[in-house]
Amino acid sequence: MDIRFSESAPSTIGVEWELPLVDRATGDLTPRAPAVLAAVRERLDDPDRVTEELLTNTVEVVTGVHDSVGGATRELSGIIGEVIDAADPLDAQLMCSGTHPFAQWDQQEITPDSEHYTTLIDRTRWWGRQMLIWGVHVHVGIDDRDKAVPIMNAMLGYVPHLQAFTASSPFWAGTDTGYASNRALMFQQLPTGGLPPQLGAWANFEEVVGDLVHTGVIDGVKDLRWDIRPSPGWGTLENRVSDGISTLHEVGAVTALVQCLVTESSDRIDAGETLPAMQPWFVRENKWRAARYGMDAEIITNVAGDERLVTDEVHDLVARLDPVAERLGCQEELHHLDTMIERGASYQRQLAVAQENGGDLRAVVQHLVGELRDSL
């Protein structure tokens, strides 16, 4: 299968942010996305910047192509502000996390009149219906399709960093799961979900996609739900590791990290270097550790099996990437990762709010609503 990789300016970025809607009075999820979408699209110059998702309780905000993280976050802030204003008369509020603290999956509505979503649920059934989860996807432009697979392989070494810092799904249907990111392990139950295979070259990617299409597993590349994947139509590498991120500042920090890592890898290829890739079994273990322990995860750092606390790794990684961030104009956003170490990840803040309120998860929802609003 010949898969064309679109031309894309290197290091350009785009962000997709999935946002659940909750009822103002109860804090439970509410199926008001169709009405919110209709209202907000009248407010926007480009109505395609806000789209529907699998469930009628969710809207997705999509940026245009940006050269800088600051440009992307400013656009996100403006669009989300309009969504909040459109949702307010409908008694709906926006929040974001990887899962809702107490909502029940079997009470949610599938978006109607969507062949794509109907087909997905028909095939995946019980597991597909349970996908009451949200994430943030970051695209970074790559100037040569032959770089896409080596950079994807190298980026797998940073899955635990991204997973731990964005972990925001400690609760599932009212239960404290004991995981920082329950979403991470839920999502990989879908066909083609989870970690991608480590491939040698673009031709191997084409072969995998061809085999999956031929056997009816997918209809096309868009049906690959890998945590990191090439996005040929956009000419990007797409990071899908992150849980739903609770604040705009944290979205900026994670976007800066992904942009810098992809850019650094591209630069190394241009310099004639071979990018490092970690053993698949180490990558799997690292993802599990980050999902389970979050910011307290001891992760495997190299092929020799050395281990280190993920927050110490990220602190040093920020220092290493600082020259790249200076060139890209995202130093402030990248260094917010150190602030996240000090303040804790979203899952930690949610657990603290629940404890402070005697286990009342409605207080967690209002905390998430307030965090998002105040960060814009």
Residue 227: predicted pLDDT: 98
The encoded tokens of residue 207 equal: 């072969």
pLDDT(210) > 90: yes
pLDDT in tens, 148-176: 999 999 999 999 999 999 999 999 999 99
pLDDT of residue 118: 86
Question: Predicted confidence band at 241 (pLDDT cuts at 50, 70, 90)?
Answer: very high
- pLDDT at 224 > cutoff 90: yes
CA within 13 Å, CB half, 308: 13
Which residues, in sequence order, are bridge partners of residue 137?
16
- Residue 5: per-residue pLDDT: 97
pLDDT tens-place string over residues 258-292? 999 999 999 999 999 999 999 999 999 999 999 99
163 and 241 Cβ atoms separated by less than 8 Å: yes
With contact defined as beta carbons under 8 Å apart, do 21 and 57 qualify? Answer: yes
pLDDT of residue 298: 98
Mean pLDDT computed over 179-188: 97
Percent pLDDT > 70 in the chain is 100
Q: How confident is the model at residue 116 (pLDDT cuts 50, 70, 90)?
A: confident
**Neighbouring-strand partners of residue 193:** 225
Average pLDDT over residues 199-203: 97
Please tell me the distance from the alpha carbon of residue 357 to that of residue 367, in angstroms, as a whole number. Answer: 11
Return the biggest CA–CA distance within the chain.
58
Q: Are 266 and 10 in contact (CB under 8 A)?
A: yes
DSSP state, residue 178: S
Closest CA to 251 of 167, 341, 331, 166: 166
Q: What is the pLDDT of residue 255?
A: 98
Report the C-alpha gap between 184 and 294 in whole angstroms. 11
Name which of 30-39, 41-50, 325-334, 365-374 the model is least confident about. 41-50
pLDDT surpasses 90 at 228: yes
For the chain, the average pLDDT equals 97
pTM of the complete model beyond 0.85: yes
257 or 113: which leads in pLDDT: 257
295-346 pLDDT, tens digit per residue, is 999 999 999 999 999 999 999 999 999 999 999 999 999 999 999 999 999 9
In angstroms, the CA 237 to CA 284 distance is 20
Contacts (Cβ under 8 Å, ≥6 apart) of 97: 20, 134, 168, 169, 243, 244, 246, 346, 350, 368
As a whole number, mean pLDDT of residues 111-137 equals 90
Confidence of residue 114 (pLDDT cuts 50, 70, 90): confident
Residues 43-61 pLDDT 10s? 999 999 999 999 999 999 9
- Pairwise CA distance, residues 334 & 181, whole Å: 22
Asked if residue 126 has pLDDT above 90, the reply is no
pLDDT at 119 over 90: no
